[in-house]
Structure 1
Amino acid sequence: MFPERRLRRLRKRTFQPLFKETRLAVSDLVMPLFFDETIEEAVPIGSMPGQYRYPLGDAGAVAERLQRTGLSAVLIFGIPREKDAVATSAYDGDGVVQRAIAGMKAACPDLVVITDVCACEYTDHGHCGIVGETCNGGRDLLNDPSLALMQKIAVSHARAGADIVAPSCMLDGMVRAIRTALDGSGFAEVPIMSYSTKFASAYYGPFREAADSGFSFGDRTTYQMDPANAREALLESEEDAAEGADILMVKPAGLYLDVLAEIREIGLPVAAYQVSGEYAQLKAASALGWLDERKCALEALTCIKRAGADLIITYYAEDAARWLHEEQ
């Protein structure tokens, strides 16, 4: 019995563009950037070939370069000159992220500037908030004192001109706390893109070099998620949606497409972060000639979109924008 349905009929090369189910677009992509107030020239990030720490003086030029590729959004991180136990510089009105926002918006007012709201780059211990003694006598991230810190950081970013704030610390109640602070400070129109499902992944390694955010003790498994837990992952995003998040996020992206597809069903826009380790392994294999970098990178990004991402935060954003233009 020969099958009556022949799926290969529609796979002729001339037909392929007509029946493509998922289309990756430049407008789907968000470029992460690192600004360092201790440098005067861009510094390459060794574990992330093609990526740099930029001096604040380059903020406008970087914004213009990315906008010329068609990219419309960036996510910025800051490396401050000074760190302390309570991340004072994270909410300084003249801080590194605050000044980077001003520089980018002055050059490209229509560029959507998203800011990472966290403390790991600003604390001398490298954890994502206020650290103290727990009820069992150990040291760990303290949830509620850290919420007050996130409120200060988010408001300072909004005051500096951020279009969207993105809390990444995985604290219980962080979205409600930040929404309350933004609304009470006159920033009710600033959306929150919550890192609502963020796993305690080993794939963040290169980021720690890029952002100078390694931790001095312990790990982040008491506040970031166990990679084995899918039901809990959904609950985390449902909680943030109920607290008022405007956009949810899954991080990392490529290893967690099953979770991404589930969170898509909540109904809010969803971002997915293709993290530093995902980028670095593609770069390394491509440098050895084992993979076709362009094809593999675009395949990975397309699959993230197919799973349900509305936005893809990726270090490949600039390259992918160029490749997609070339395919048109």
Structure 2
Amino acid sequence: MTAPAGAPSRAPAEVVFPALGTTAVLLVTDPRGLPAAEAVLRAELAAVDKACSRFRPDSELSRVNLAAGTPVTVGERFAEALEAALRAARLTDGAVDPTVGRAMNALGYDRTFASLRPDDVRPLPVARPAPGWRRIAWEPRTGRLCLPPHTHLDLGATAKALAADRAARYAAAAAGCGVLVGLGGDLAVAGRTPDGGWRIALADDHARPAPDGGPAVAVTGGGLATSGVRVRTWRRAGRTLHHIVDPATGEPAPPVWRTVTVAAATCVDANAAATAAIVRGAGAVDWLRRTALPARLVDLQGSVVRVGGWPPDTATDTATDAVPATGLDRQPTPGGAR
């Protein structure tokens, strides 16, 4: 996962608190701007939770899922999250697909991760492919949405990253200074960065301090995201499961990569590419090369593969500028092969 590793010169002001089932981290280059930036971040997190949580019966997502097969009108915040999810599905050729909600529930991830049984003995139901994002009927102009019958959305692959992008952008404007927002493995920056960029340590788990001398990069703009299969795991019917589902099978993606970290112009794009790489497994390296996005992949044995100009591992500050948002758009879409 990605985690702030401090600034190269003057330490920024910081606030850390639990949110969205993970840890929210906010850093600002000017301590005077921290209260305004924190207020923006907390408001953004509350809004995305109310709109997109799978675990709140009063969320808009829960209402949409209950109405599957029937047209509904959705609000502006939910519409933005849905658009981000559909864009990610299109650009990853369906490797990241918001219609995996029922598959997630069937695997046992039907409540907050902290509430999951660590070793559930119930049998696993037969896995089924996700219905597919192309079957969603969505009219952006009117906000009318109709899911296929028996389809549940899960916006987790993009909604948290979208919240990081929005919070960083609006917090920087409110605080009048540089801002970094980290939500678990999703990180976005906005405004003027510290000299040399925001230094980011790379580790499997954002909640655990990275080892001294471990790999780090410096981010000067855009977003950085890490997806992995080692942290959010549980056991069911004797199997170890993780939270990244392959839409083509409805099963957790076969573990090939321990973590994948991607830099892009937005956290949403970085997260979509990192998640798609986990799903694509052995085909991830060639696919990421076609996107031209800088990425670092770590396999189960700890071997590292770097593509797209990702710098060599170093504890010193090596700037990684986010690529244009069109980076994902440059990829070919070869018929959904993963």
TM-score, structure 2 as length reference? 0.29
Greater strand share, structure number: 2
Query: Which has the greater radius of gyration?
Result: 1
The normalised TM-score by structure 1 is 0.29
Larger relative CO (CA 8 A, sep 6+): 1 or 2? 2
